[in-house]
Amino acid sequence: MLAERFATKCFTPLELTHFKDNFFTRAMGQGDLKFWNEKILSDFLAIPDSSDSECPMDAGPVIFRMVSYLGAFPFQNTLAPSVLTFESMVKVAVLLTERYGKVLRRARKDRIRLLFGSLADVGRKDVDQPANDDGIKEDKNNSSPVKPHTPGFSIDEPSNEDYEDDEEDGLALAALESLDAFEVLKHDSRIDRAIYEARISIATFRRLLMLLLVISPLEPLESVRVYTSDLNEERMQAIRKEADNILAAFPQEKSGGISYKAFDKTVETSLPYLFDPLTPLFEHLLFSENLDLSQKPSQSDSMEPADETSRTPLPTSSSLMLPGSFESAILNSSTVSHLSFFLPSTNSNQNLLRGNLRLHPIFSTAAHGSSLTSFSHNVLTWQSGTLLLLEGAVIGSPDEGVVTLGAYLPQPWKSGSSTQSSRPLDSSALPCLFQLSPKHLLLPGNPSSSVLKSDTPAAYFSTKTGISLGCRIPPTSRSQHLSPSPLGAGSLTIDASIETADFHVAPFGHNGVFLPSYTDLTSTATTKTQIDIYNLEIWGLVPDPDPSSSEKSAIELQKANWDFEAREAERRRNLNLKAGAGDSAMESARWLLETAGIIENTHGRGGSV
């Protein structure tokens, strides 16, 4: 009855027809029981496992383990792992395709808890409660006996963890309430909480992270083999490295593994889009190649999947980056996948790869040199948001390897100290400062506009002091040039020669542009990392164009600015002083123009740059 409620509330009739065809044409039989095993699931989803010689990534058993746990929902503690019957797979599809809004009261929060349980191992604590003659332990606070409980895939936390009360902490289902089964659910999800604790092992989580990194650009009807067929050793090394960078962001217990509290907080605050690739992966269940979709769908069923030829393809790591004046020395497919786990698309709640966002190359030290003049010419003329990426080595600690930092700046750069004066409260429009390697670290933007002042812009540019992110800008002075000072939980300063950078991180500070990171709360002191810059790149954010809009894109506006600058430069070069003026008047006029930097200095006199 529960699976029937799931199917009718969360699937369209056409999707349910496709789902049944996919399941029953592949199911194994044992009497009247039809079910899927691990091989059928891996083959259908094209998930690489240990038997796949073309792909050295053994992710099939991890996915099967997750599905077996979710198939027992909502009685995971007593029934998991479940046999993958049709009813179980219906619940799996609902939970993993994010169609749970009508059945999970706390939606995304409950989904994170379920995903944790599907990955966690169970350990048994030592309990000092005596057993009676029947082998049943007595509760000291309750005269009624507590019967032993089979743990299964329990995700219950130890008693010293922070939990919310009753309904708010439980998996509250509207469907179960209508079936008068809510009390059973509460009992199942809360029994023996003080006895069992769960941890996700690092090896299990690493295999899942590697799969998510590979399939992050996956479309709903696209085969996984498109992304797993060319995983050579070099690519696998890059994927393993990126997975380890993400793993380092999850606080680990001394006994090993990741607790639910650490998992929940890290995903929620630092990696909100981490499990997004699972949605298109399991939407494969809702489309069968055996059924003819050539007929035009009826208007009454607006949720039917569109014809594959009419779908707009999602950007892959290569198509995400538009052609331009340089090719990235920092971005690759694994790095782009990592970015998509926490960076939003502009003006949407989707991740970087799912909002049809593109990256336009604007500035690179490898292509344009380490010149602030070139930086201002390329960056300050860009009329949209930008993505800053920096790669270098820690000064004084060469053994730490390459450090990769970045900043998401959704507002355009401006000259002077008035950069990014507008601070919209939309979370997708907030800037953030982050580190990709050797450890994932996210310093989110501060949504409190009342705290931020005009002298604390997200990004600041000056030919005298260089580039500053999240700093307090000193007042203008004719006698001295003061450098911006770090403020709040994080800041990044780059010197005027674009050779070195200082990365400041503090575990406190809510008065700046960037807030503290949850994953860095173990630190109690402010850290300053000096970096020898290898590469600095600025990428322009190009949103999906609106066909009905007559506004010019950021690329067109930048080209218009460059054309205007070129015309002005040509006009100044051809400036002709009036004939007949005396030599002294002509020299005085030329001196004024050279001093102002309007015409070229041909006599070696000083002037403005």
Q: Are residues 448 and 369 in the same domain?
A: yes
pLDDT tens, residue by residue, 137-148:
444 444 444 444
Q: Is 31 within a domain?
A: yes
pLDDT given at position 131: 45
pLDDT of 601 above 50: yes
pLDDT of 405 above 90: yes
- The share of the chain scoring above pLDDT 70, in percent, equals 70
Q: Is 330 within a domain?
A: no
In this structure, what DSSP letter does residue 325 have? S
- Domain finish residue from 269, 289, 309: 289
pLDDT given at position 546: 53
pLDDT given at position 453: 75
Q: Are residues 266 and 393 in the same domain?
A: no
Amino acid in the structure at residue 65: R
Q: Is 534 within a domain?
A: yes
| Pairwise CA distance, residues 554 & 44, whole Å | 42
Tally of domains within the chain: 2
Q: What is the mean pLDDT of residues 17-34?
A: 91
Q: Are residues 228 and 366 in the same domain?
A: no
Count Cβ atoms below 10 Å from residue 318 Cβ, excluding itself.
11
Q: Are residues 275 and 395 in the same domain?
A: no
Domain assignment of residue 434, given as a range: 354-417+426-544
pTM: 0.79
Q: What is the mean pLDDT of residues 376-403?
A: 89
Q: What is the mean pLDDT of residues 219-230?
A: 85
Give the CA distances from residue 99 to residues 7, 9, 483, in Å, rounded to whole numbers and listed in that order.
Answer: 10, 9, 51
Closest by CA position to 489, among listed 472, 503, 508: 508
Q: Are residues 28 and 104 in the same domain?
A: yes
pLDDT tens, residue by residue, 575-586:
654 444 456 666
pLDDT given at position 345: 84
pLDDT given at position 266: 94
pLDDT tens, residue by residue, 245-303:
999 999 988 778 898 889 999 999 999 999 999 999 999 999 988 876 555 544 434 44
Q: Are residues 213 and 82 in the same domain?
A: yes
pLDDT of 321 above 70: yes
pLDDT tens, residue by residue, 190-216:
443 432 478 899 999 999 999 999 999
pLDDT given at position 153: 44
| Pairwise CA distance, residues 38 & 44, whole Å | 10
Which pLDDT band, with edges at 50, 70 and 90, does 608 fall under? very low
Yes or no: say if 513 and 390 are a contact pair by the CB < 8 Å rule: no
Q: Is 570 within a domain?
A: no
Q: Are residues 432 and 524 in the same domain?
A: yes
Q: Is 574 within a domain?
A: no
Give the CA distances from residue 312 to residues 221, 301, 308, in Å, rounded to whole numbers and listed in that order.
Answer: 12, 20, 9
Q: What is the mean pLDDT of residues 547-560?
A: 66
Yes or no: say if 503 and 528 are a contact pair by the CB < 8 Å rule: yes
Angle at 534 between CA 533 and CA 539, to 5 degrees: 90
- Domain finish residue from 528, 544, 560: 544
pLDDT given at position 435: 97
| Pairwise CA distance, residues 226 & 284, whole Å | 14
Q: Is 314 within a domain?
A: no
Q: Are residues 281 and 392 in the same domain?
A: no
pLDDT given at position 138: 47
Q: Are residues 30 and 119 in the same domain?
A: yes
Helix or strand or coil: residue 211?
helix
Tell me the residue length of the chain: 609
pLDDT of 163 above 70: no
pLDDT given at position 81: 86
pLDDT given at position 596: 65
* 310 token code pair: 């009419």
Q: Is 434 within a domain?
A: yes
**369 HSE (CA, 13 A, CB side):** 6
- Domain finish residue from 544, 570, 594: 544
pLDDT of 150 above 70: no
pLDDT of 331 above 60: yes
Q: Is 348 within a domain?
A: no
